[in-house]
Structure 1
Amino acid sequence: MKFPLYFSKKIAFSKDNKNNLSRIIVFIGRLSVALGVIVSLITVSTGIGSKTAIKERMADFSGHISIKSKQSNNSYNSSILSTEGLQIDKIKQLEDVASTQKYVSVSGILRNEHNFAGIIFKGVGKDFDAERFRKFIIAGTTPDITEKGFNSGVCISQKIANDLHLKVKDSIVAVFSKENQSPLYRKFEVVGIYKTDIKMIDDLFIIGGINHARKIQGMEKNEVGGIDVFLKNINYIDEDAPKIDKLVGYKNYIVKATDEYPQIMDFIAIFDTNIALIIIIMLVVVIINIVMVLLILIIERTNSIGMLKTLGATNAQIQTIFINYTLMIMIPGLVIGNLVGIGFLLIQKYFGVIKLNPENYYLSTVPVDLNILHILAISVGILLVSAISLILPSYLISKISPVKSLKYS
């Protein structure tokens, strides 16, 4: 074992340290490291968790990528999706594609004796991914879509249900209008109530059978207004979008879920800034405290430094001893910080203790993304940055004269 490392361990784990005057400052240093780790873990895990959760909610409702007709002009009323050049089978065969579902959407109004609400009726077919949608259901179930005749069951949002005083098994009348035509009335039964916590979705969308939407839009039996494409991982959406775009035909276009609601993406972008800012602040606090610990240790052990120099130890060796010593002091702080931080995050992950206002945050509870790489990166990063920051103050050792330090011992 090399001399600096050996000597560092001897003084770091010596029982004599328990009575040193430096024990208070060492405690403060460990506490700052522990708090830095805890805050960094919470910031990274909840920040990344929130970004992922919001993106997945958008994508799981309306598809990671949606194929639309260029004639729709971003209208909520679907135009007929062109089959010219549309290679849906090849899209399904792409490695990252999990499933697809066709739909037709049309705008309308729900009304009863209590209130009325403007809605977007999204008609889905028998390929509707009910399992993916089921995570949003808070009452009832998803509509049973068969495409044989007209399915009267619909799934509405909790917001619409509250506004119209509706519950599962209630009936509701929807009114749809088209230019130069009389209003069309459709009676539906509420079979399910969902909640995504995303206001732009919950305020508008109801889910029902595609044949109703086809009838309202004057479409034929096999015509659709769009296709939702679900990916296996939303993180690959930017890579997969160009591949899908090549297979939709020149009369159609694609919209990524991350582009569908730009105001939400602007909100998500704030997380990156906040995460970086908080971690930088924590690193600065930890570095200041650790440098302070090192300087106090050097001052307190001036006599020991003089003795080591007298015995032939070089400045570099003594510097290494004290840097190692300081880093060893940090280890308990790192361990405690990780235990407390991970423990808190596990409680939040499985019990959802901390709640959020979905009106402001698009989520009702704080989500957690526990990634072992992030946990290791935080601990290793704090150690490395601290080690580098200790190099400069450790040069104080070279200014200590062995003669003077021993003279006043």
Structure 2
Amino acid sequence: MKFPLYFSRKIAFSKDNKNNLSRVIIFIGRLSVALGIIVSLITVATGFGSKKAIKERLADFSGHITVKSVKSNSSYNTSILDNQGLDLKKIQELPDVESVQKYATVTGIMRNKHSFAGVIFKGVGKDFDSVRFKKFLTEGKIPIITEKGYNNGVAISQKIAGDLQLKLKDSIVTVFSTADQKQIYRKFEVVGIYKTDIKMIDDQFVIGDINHVRKIQDMKPEEIGGIDIFFKNVNDIDKDFPEIEKLIGYKNYAEKATDKFPQITDWISIFDTNIALIIIIMLIVVIINIIMVLLILIIERTNSIGLLKTLGATNGQIRATFINYTLIIMVPGLLYGNIIGLGLLLLQKFFGIITLNPENYYVSTVPVDLNPLIILAISAGILIISGFALIIPSYLISKISPVKAIKYN
């Protein structure tokens, strides 16, 4: 074992530290490190968790990537998807693709004696990913679509149900307008109620049979308004988007889930800035505290430094000794910080103790994303950066004269 590491361990675990100033200094150092780890873990886990949760909610409702006809533009009344150049089979065979579902949408007005609500009726087919949608259900079930005849069951949002005072098994009349401005009335039964916590979705969307949309839009039985493509991992959107664009034909266009609601995308992009800012602030606080600990320890052990120099130890060896000593002091702080930080995050993850207003934050509880690599990176990063930050102040040791140090009291 090299001399600096050996001697630093002897000092760190010496019983003398329990009865002098070192005990207080060591406690302050460990406390600052623990608090830095706790705040950093909570910031990163909740920040990344919120980004991931919001992206997944957007994507799980309407597809990670949606393909529509260029004629649709921004209209909610979808135009017929062009089959020329569209290779649905190859899209489904892409490694990252989990499922593909067909749909068509049309706008309408739901009304009863209590009130009315403008809605987007999203007609889905027998390939509807009901398992993915099930997480949003709060009551009832998902309409079973066979595309044979017309299924009058619909799933409406909790917001629409509240506005129209609807409950399961209630009937509701919806008015649609055709291309030639004729009004078509449809009577639906509420079989399911969902909640995504995304206001732009919950305020508008109704899920039902695609055959109703085909009838209203005068579409043929095999025609559709678009396809929703779901990936196994939401983070694959950007990677696979160029490949999807090659397989949809030039008369159709692809749209990412994160691009459908730009105001939400802009909002969650702020998380990256906030996370970086908080991490930097906490790192600065930890480094300042650790440097203060090092300087005070050097001053307190001036006699020992003088003695080591008299015995032939070089300035480099003594500096390494005190840097190792300070880093050893940090280790319990890292350990306790991780235990407390991860403990708090696990409580939030499994019990959802802290709640949020979904109208402002798009989620009802603070989401947590526990990535082991990031957790390790935070601890290792603080330890490594602190080690480098201690090099410059450790040069104070070279200014200490052995003769004066031995006389120092």
Into which bin does the TM-score normalised by the smaller protein fall?
over 0.9
Give how far 1:25 is off. Answer: 2.2
1:102-251 alignment to 2 at 5 Å? 102-251=102-251
1:36-75 alignment to 2 at 5 Å? 36-75=36-75
Q: State TM-score, norm by structure 2.
A: 0.99
Q: Give percent identity, aligned residues only.
A: 73
1:5-404 alignment to 2 at 5 Å? 5-404=5-404
CA–CA distance in structure 2, aligned partners of residues 107 and 407 of structure 1: 89
CA–CA distance in structure 1, aligned partners of residues 11 and 79 of structure 2: 77
Give how far 1:74 is off. Answer: 1.7
CA–CA distance in structure 1, aligned partners of residues 350 and 169 of structure 2: 32
CA–CA distance in structure 2, aligned partners of residues 190 and 180 of structure 1: 29
Give how far 1:26 is off. Answer: 1.7
CA–CA distance in structure 1, aligned partners of residues 234 and 180 of structure 2: 42
CA–CA distance in structure 2, aligned partners of residues 25 and 110 of structure 1: 69
Structure 2 stretches lacking a partner, 5+ long: none
Residue 346 of structure 1 aligns with an amino acid whose one-letter code is L
Describe the superposition over 1:199-245 as per-residue Cα deviations: whole angstroms up to 9, x where unpaired: 11010000000000110111010000000011111111111111111
| Matched residues, number | 409
Give how far 1:179 is off. Answer: 4.2
Residue 322 of structure 1 aligns with an amino acid whose one-letter code is F
CA–CA distance in structure 2, aligned partners of residues 128 and 9 of structure 1: 63
Give how far 1:330 is off. Answer: 0.6
- Tell me the SS of whatever aligns to 2:308: helix
CA–CA distance in structure 2, aligned partners of residues 4 and 203 of structure 1: 66
Calculate the aligned-residue CA RMSD, in Å: 0.8
Residue 67 of structure 1 aligns with an amino acid whose one-letter code is V
Describe the superposition over 1:104-131 as per-residue Cα deviations: whole angstroms up to 9, x where unpaired: 1000001011110000000000000000
- Tell me the SS of whatever aligns to 2:275: helix
Give how far 1:405 is off. Answer: 1.1
Residue 328 of structure 1 aligns with an amino acid whose one-letter code is I
Give how far 1:59 is off. Answer: 0.5
Q: 315-324 vs 179-188, which deviates more? A: 179-188
CA–CA distance in structure 2, aligned partners of residues 236 and 101 of structure 1: 18
Give how far 1:377 is off. Answer: 0.2
Structure 1 stretches lacking a partner, 5+ long: none
Describe the superposition over 1:259-294 as per-residue Cα deviations: whole angstroms up to 9, x where unpaired: 111111001100000000000000000001000000
Residue 112 of structure 2 aligns with an amino acid whose one-letter code is N
Q: State TM-score, norm by structure 1.
A: 0.99
- Tell me the SS of whatever aligns to 1:138: strand
Residue 129 of structure 2 aligns with an amino acid whose one-letter code is D
